[in-house]
Structure 1
Amino acid sequence: MDKAYKESYRKLGLNIAFYRKDRGLTQMQLAELLDIDRSHMSAIELATVGVSLDVIFKMCNILSVSPKDLFDFRS
């Protein structure tokens, strides 16, 4: 992950966590639906790793949100 985008990854992680919790899912449940490890799910939300578009698109389907929703960073 390019450090220049660290803040954007942080905001993305916050949005993912928001929508995950809003849908009543735990990190473990979302990770299982995404077919990734729970620790990887945590790392995505904490912005310690990057995330592929494949995972983003699948996550959007699971959470019933658009990619725009996940990338709509609030100030």
Structure 2
Amino acid sequence: MDEKRERQFRELGLTISYYRKLKGLTQLQLANAVGLSRTHISNIEAPRIKTSLSLESLFDIADALDIQPRDLFNFREQQQQ
């Protein structure tokens, strides 16, 4: 995986984490809402861990967070802090 793609995966994970916390959910609560394990959610959100994510799961995560899927790709500087 090239550096650009790694950065995009990291930003996606950080964005999911940002919206999850904004919604007041734990990783376990989000995992239960979308039918994934807490470990998988943790791996998705972890900036240094490579993991796969299906589009269906991505859409489920967006639904659980009450946001549009496109919002997960609206990377913001404040989310990376």
What is the TM-score of this pair, normalised by structure 1? 0.90
Q: CA RMSD, aligned part only?
A: 1.1
Q: Distance in 2 between matches of 1:48 and 1:41?
A: 12
Q: How much has 1:60 moved relative to structure 2?
A: 0.9
AA matched with 2:15: N
AA matched with 2:63: N
Q: Distance in 1 between matches of 2:37 and 2:56?
A: 15
Q: Distance in 2 between matches of 1:29 and 1:53?
A: 20
Give the count of matched residue pairs. Answer: 73
User: Match of 2:74, SS?
Assistant: coil
Q: Unaligned stretches of 5+ in structure 1? A: none
1:40 alignment counterpart: 40
The runs of at least 4 consecutive aligned structure 1 residues that moved more than 6 Å come to none
1:10 alignment counterpart: 10
2:30 alignment counterpart: 30
1:21 alignment counterpart: 21
User: Match of 2:41, SS?
Assistant: helix
Q: Unaligned stretches of 5+ in structure 2? A: none
